[in-house]
Amino acid sequence: MTSRRALRLIASCLVAGVLAAAASTVPVAAEDRLLVLDIARNSLAPAMRTLRVRKDDAVTLEVKADRALVLHIHGLNLELVVGAGASARMSFTARATGRFPVEVHAVGADRRARHHGPPLAFLEVMPK
């Protein structure tokens, strides 16, 4: 490779790098996000075990369950009561970024006794 050609290659890499950096700083508009969870036997389909949204998205969670339960999103401290064979919805704005465990609790369970086993899913709120 000639030195002129090498210089041209380095220059185009630098331009690509600057463009990539510029693209990553462009703010992403907040979206309305509908997440539909179908819980059967306290479990979700594997594809639904990581729920990803962006900071400031307006999130609506629609939860259908085969048994009565309380859905608890840790860290955001959100709870949704769902009846057996029913569905319920809640909406919130994803203000905090992070990875939040989503757990299922029995309705009326003692607060100290109800945290055991792996989370149902994780809600990941990505920075903009």
Residues of this chain that interact with Cu ion (CB under 5 A) are: 72, 103
- Compare residues 41 and 112 and give the one whose CB is closer to Cu ion: 112
Q: Which residues contact 44 (CB under 8 A, 6 or more apart)?
A: 37, 38, 120, 121
CB nearer to Cu ion: give 30 or 119.
119
Nearer to Cu ion, 57 or 103 (CB): 103
Closest approach of Cu ion to the CB of residue 71, in Å:
9
Q: In 31-114, where do the E strands start and end?
A: 32-39, 50-54, 58-65, 69-73, 78-82, 87-93, 98-105
Task: Find the residue with minimal CB distance to Cu ion.
Answer: 72
Q: How far is the CB of 22 from Cu ion (least distance, A)?
A: 41
The letter for the amino acid at 48 is M
